[in-house]
Amino acid sequence: MDIHIPTDIYMVDLHSQYLRIKEEIDIAIQEVIDSSMFIRGPVLSAFESELSAELGGVGVLGVANGTDALQIALMALGVGPGDEVITPSFTFVATAEAVGLLGATPVFADIDPHTFSIDAEQIQALITGETKAIVPVHLFGQCADMSAIMDIAESHGIPVIEDAAQAVGARFEGRTAGSMGDFGTLSFFPTKNLACFGDGGAVVSHDPDLLDRARLIANHGSMKKYHNEIIGINSRLDAMQAAILRVKLKHLQEYSDARRLAADRYDELFSDVSEITCPVRDERSTHVFHQYTIRVIGGDSKRRDALQQFLKQREVPSFVYYPVPLHLLPIYKDDPTSCRTGTMDETSRATNEVLSLPMHTELTHAQQVKVVDTCRAFFNE
């Protein structure tokens, strides 16, 4: 049997990040235990207002996870059976799943090859009388073209929910991800840029009425106990997770800077490797590099898969986000409404070419040199 020698390079390094703030985190957790206030209470309220301040004043509602956040936002906008919601095919399944859970149908659009996010021009062509929302995803930590998306949405009177699960703290023309549409949704899943020690998420909105509606839905459809007004769900960010998030929120700027610095170093180290392209940065955006995703140029996925295999043999982890676009998943592939657009060329190309490399707040220069040297060795073979 092969003996597996563990590598010191990880896709994400949650443990090293924890060790640097261990004392603060441990105290915060102990305080929640001592208070016995595990659900709601002052810790959650404090986190919601601190995150609101960090995101430029948008209202924040803590919920159980990023998928619930999407579902709650869709419910608050009244999305239901027979409705259509335009969203990219190149994303994590949760974006479309929340739509389907409400009896509505996701309608998939192709992506802009530069940002990997929804192609604003395609949205226009997909709008029908049934379209009840547009859900752009700020993939890999960079915002979609929110200026074009908001123009189209406003001209048709269609609300926008920004899936900002991967982009907390990112900006577009100075405005924070999640704060530009009617709603924004965040995930605090352990590998996300602002992450707790379990599941967590948030719904954000500048519109106090919409946020109240979301709050009502997330709390069994009731504001006043035992006076349930509508059918809601139970979706809470618990106090323990909020306490952890409060500590990490103080470091969010520093974490985003560390990711950007690591991305700059990758760009620099890859400058002589012509077989790949580095992430393209939209100059209107502040990228927070949830992922550092290169493209391995080639017609099909063979070259990319071979590189990934080569890296793996040399203890360099990498990951394909996402190997199957949503419009090709068994759930959606035969749905004529979901797959209305015939042109998924950029989504298909991205699926074949993308490879995400180790990216986290603790990544060292030496580790990045190893990653890039190993890639270079593959292309020089």
Closest separation between CB of residue 10 and ligand PLP, Å? 18
Cα–Cα nearest to 326, from 163, 195, 192: 163
The pattern of x and - marking residues 110 through 129 that bind ligand PLP according to CB under 6 A reads --------------------
Whether 88 and 107 have beta carbons less than 8 Å apart is answered as no
Pairing of strands 84-88, 131-134: parallel
Q: Is 62 in the site for ligand PLP (CB under 6 A)?
A: no
Q: Which of residues 200-259 bind ligand PLP (CB under 6 A)?
A: 201
Closest separation between CB of residue 165 and ligand PLP, Å? 3
Closest separation between CB of residue 63 and ligand PLP, Å? 9
Pairing of strands 171-172, 105-109: unpaired
Tell how far CA 103 is from the center of its chain.
23
Cα separation, 42 vs 20, in Å, equals 26
Of the candidate residues 62, 66, 181, 279, the single one contacting ligand PLP (CB under 6 A): 66
Nearer to ligand PLP, 270 or 292 (CB): 292
Tokens of 309: 């295999």
Q: Is 165 in the site for ligand PLP (CB under 6 A)?
A: yes
Please name the helix (run of DSSP H) or strand (run of DSSP E) that holds residue 87, with its range, or none: strand 84-88
Q: What single DSSP character describes residue 175?
A: E
- Report residue 326: phi and psi, to 5°: -60, -35
Nearer to ligand PLP, 65 or 318 (CB): 65
Of the candidate residues 47, 108, 140, 189, the single one contacting ligand PLP (CB under 6 A): 189
Q: Is 87 in the site for ligand PLP (CB under 6 A)?
A: no
Of the candidate residues 84, 119, 163, 182, the single one contacting ligand PLP (CB under 6 A): 163
Closest separation between CB of residue 136 and ligand PLP, Å? 10
First vs last C-alpha separation in the chain: 28
Whether 180 and 205 have beta carbons less than 8 Å apart is answered as no
Q: Is 65 in the site for ligand PLP (CB under 6 A)?
A: yes
Q: How many chain residues interact with ligand PLP (CB under 6 A)?
A: 15
Residues that bind ligand PLP (CB under 6 A): 65-67, 91-92, 94-95, 137, 163, 165-166, 187, 189, 199, 201
